[in-house]
Chains A and B, each alone.
Chain A
Amino acid sequence: NAGVTQTPKFRVLKTGQSMTLLCAQDMNHEYMYWYRQDPGMGLRLIHYSVGEGTTAKGEVPDGYNVSRLKKQNFLLGLESAAPSQTSVYFCASSWGGNNEQFFGPGTRLTVL
Chain B
Amino acid sequence: GQQLNQSPQSMFIQEGEDVSMNCTSSSIFNTWLWYKQDPGEGPVLLIALYKAGELTSNGRLTAQFGITRKDSFLNISASIPSDVGIYFCAGRTYSGAGSYQLTFGKGTKLSVIP
> Which residues does A use to contact B, with CB under 8 Å?
4, 40-45, 48, 50, 56, 58-59, 90, 92, 96-98, 100-101, 103-106
Interfacial chain A residues near B100, Cβ < 8 Å: 97-98
| CB <8 Å contact, B40 and A105 | yes
A51 → B minimal CB distance (Å): 9
> Which residues does B use to contact A, with CB under 8 Å?
1, 4, 6, 9, 31, 40-45, 48, 88, 90, 92, 94, 97-107
| CB <8 Å contact, A45 and B102 | yes
Partner of B42, one of A44, A45, A50, A106: A106
| CB <8 Å contact, A92 and B42 | yes
A23 → B minimal CB distance (Å): 11
- Given A106-B40, A106-B42, do A97 and B99 touch, yes or no (CB 8 Å)? yes
- Given A103-B43, A105-B41, do A50 and B106 touch, yes or no (CB 8 Å)? no
| CB <8 Å contact, A104 and B107 | no
Main DSSP-derived SS at the A contact region: loop
4 shortest interchain CB distances as A-B pairs: A42-B104, A103-B42, A97-B100, A43-B104
CA distance A100 to B31 in the complex (A): 11
Partner of B106, one of A41, A100, A103: A41
| CB <8 Å contact, A103 and B1 | no
CA distance A92 to B101 in the complex (A): 13
| CB <8 Å contact, B45 and A100 | yes
Partner of B102, one of A96, A101, A104: A101
B40 → A minimal CB distance (Å): 7
| CB <8 Å contact, A56 and B4 | no
Beta-carbon nearest neighbor of B50 in chain A? A98
Query: Which one of B31, B88, B99 has the highest number of Cβ atoms from chain A below 10 Å of its Cβ?
Result: B99
